């Protein structure tokens, strides 16, 4: 074999890149002194592009395929000088591989709240976040505008810039959209489309494209959400007076559940709640007009000075009962010393065993029911 053929074979090289990461966009083929051998084989796989740079000037961009690097294939390099030794000199150039596949699940979000004017709530602050996909549409432009001479460029190095572009335009669009806050969830697709169309030209200047863009959530501050929840509860309750009664009953119930309040707090809370429930039951369903009173049979009034007692059973007030009627209820086990009792003009609801004038009814155990 002639010596020149041997030397020419020694300078044949294979240039390729196998990406074993999920976030690398650009990778520079490393060679000592950037010496790319004359006649080297360049392999560009699907989802890749190869950018040939000579002395800082972009020489060519190779799509997927197999190429043999020679001066007649690279017009920019036709003026290279060749050695005087029967074989041609290596290219003192660089090759950058660009990943053109789709990068998915890239995230964006607003760092600070966006202030906008809502037609119903007035000035409000909103936060938003979502995802998008990205790919390199123009490898040459992306290399010259963004990457430069970086030997390994990842998505993290461009995500911050794209996120700033998205948030800037999203803030302008959301602040001037006029969409009510309560309708934001129903308009996320329209918002995403508007933002996508607005930022596409700016991202294209970097040689990039965003095939998909999503607005996943637009949220209010926690304080506004809490106030909105109260307003919703008020709407469910009906009118303000009923909502006030509901809130008072809820507060008393919580007070009764507080162990530090003792038995008296529990009794007051439960008694007030039952009395309020009784008034609500008499006035009909939440927000509905009370049902017309039905005619009832006339009963003789109790003797003068005789007390009549109401009994709380399963959260409802029953009665009123005379002392004799209470005695019969105690006898058949319907009422016990733990039952809650109340009489007009007396204190609040009390346990039966705590009512002094009824102590004899609960002091002795009731007789067994008749078999």
CA end-to-end distance (rounded Å), the chain: 124
pLDDT tens-digit map of 132-181: 999 999 999 999 999 888 889 999 999 999 999 999 999 888 888 878 88
- Give CA–CA dist 108/213, Å, rounded: 10
pLDDT tens-digit map of 86-145: 345 566 678 899 999 999 999 999 888 888 888 877 888 888 999 999 999 999 999 999
Please count the residues of the chain. Answer: 371
Q: Is 10 helix (H, G, I), strand (E, B) or coil?
A: helix
- The region, left, alpha or beta by phi > 0 then psi within -120 to 50, assigned to residue 40 is beta
Provide the pLDDT for residue 339: 81
Q: Which residues contact 34 (CB under 8 A, 6 or more apart)?
A: 92, 93, 94
From start to end of 33-113, where are the E strands? Answer: 35-36, 41-44, 48-54, 57-62, 65-68, 91-99, 103-109
Helices (H), 143-261: 156-176, 188-204, 222-237, 240-257
Best-predicted range by mean pLDDT among 197-211, 232-246, 282-296, 330-344? 197-211
Q: What percent of the chain has pLDDT over 90?
A: 25
Q: Which residues contact 199 (CB under 8 A, 6 or more apart)?
A: 165, 166, 169, 210, 213
* Pick from 61, 51, 54: nearest CA to 89: 54
Provide the pLDDT for residue 213: 95
Whether residue 49 is predicted with pLDDT greater than 50 in this model: the reply is yes
Residue 92 forms beta bridges with which residues? 35
- Give CA–CA dist 231/337, Å, rounded: 42
Whether residue 248 is predicted with pLDDT greater than 90 in this model: the reply is no
Task: With beta carbons less than 8 A apart as the criterion, state whether 272 and 264 touch.
Answer: no
Whether residue 283 is predicted with pLDDT greater than 90 in this model: the reply is no
User: What is the pTM assigned to this prediction?
Assistant: 0.56
Q: What integer best gives the mean pLDDT of the chain?
A: 76
* Pick from 366, 256, 360: nearest CA to 312: 256
pLDDT tens-digit map of 9-44: 444 478 899 988 889 999 998 766 556 777 788 899
- Give CA–CA dist 355/351, Å, rounded: 7
């Amino acid at each position: 074999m002639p010596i020149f053929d041997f030397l020419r074979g020694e300078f044949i090289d294979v240039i390729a890149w196998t990406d074993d990461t999920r976030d690398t966009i650009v990778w520079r083929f490393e060679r000592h002194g950037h010496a790319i051998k004359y006649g080297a084989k360049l392999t560009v796989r699907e989802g890749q592009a190869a950018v040939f740079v000579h002395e800082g000037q972009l020489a060519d961009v190779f799509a997927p395929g197999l190429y043999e690097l020679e001066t007649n294939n690279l017009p920019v390099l036709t003026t290279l000088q060749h050695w005087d030794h029967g074989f041609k000199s290596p290219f003192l150039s660089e090759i950058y591989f660009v990943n053109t596949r789709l990068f998915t699940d890239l995230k964006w979000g607003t760092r600070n709240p966006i202030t906008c004017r809502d037609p119903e709530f007035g000035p409000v602050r909103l936060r938003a976040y979502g995802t998008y996909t990205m790919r390199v549409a123009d490898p040459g432009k992306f290399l010259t505008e963004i990457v430069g001479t970086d030997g390994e460029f990842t998505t993290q190095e461009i995500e911050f810039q794209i996120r700033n572009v998205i948030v800037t335009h999203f803030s302008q669009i959301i602040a001037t959209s006029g969409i009510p806050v309560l309708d934001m969830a129903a308009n996320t697709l329209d918002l995403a489309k508007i933002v996508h169309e607005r930022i596409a030209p700016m991202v294209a200047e970097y040689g990039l494209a965003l095939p998909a863009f999503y607005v996943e959530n637009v949220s209010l501050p926690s304080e506004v959400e809490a106030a909105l929840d109260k307003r919703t509860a008020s709407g469910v309750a009906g009118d303000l007076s009923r909502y006030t009664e509901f809130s008072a009953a809820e507060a008393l119930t919580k007070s009764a559940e507080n162990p530090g309040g003792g038995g008296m707090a529990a009794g007051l809370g439960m008694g007030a709640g039952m009395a309020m429930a009784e008034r609500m039951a008499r006035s009909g369903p939440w927000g509905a007009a009370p049902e017309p009173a039905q005619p009832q049979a006339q009963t003789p009034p109790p003797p003068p000075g005789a007390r009549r007692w109401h009994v709380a059973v399963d959260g409802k007030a029953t009665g009123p009962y005379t002392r004799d009627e209470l005695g019969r209820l105690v006898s058949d086990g319907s009422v016990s010393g733990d039952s809650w009792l109340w009489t007009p003009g007396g204190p609040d609801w009390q346990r039966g065993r705590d009512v002094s004038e009824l102590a004899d009814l609960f002091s002795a155990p009731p007789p067994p029911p008749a078999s």
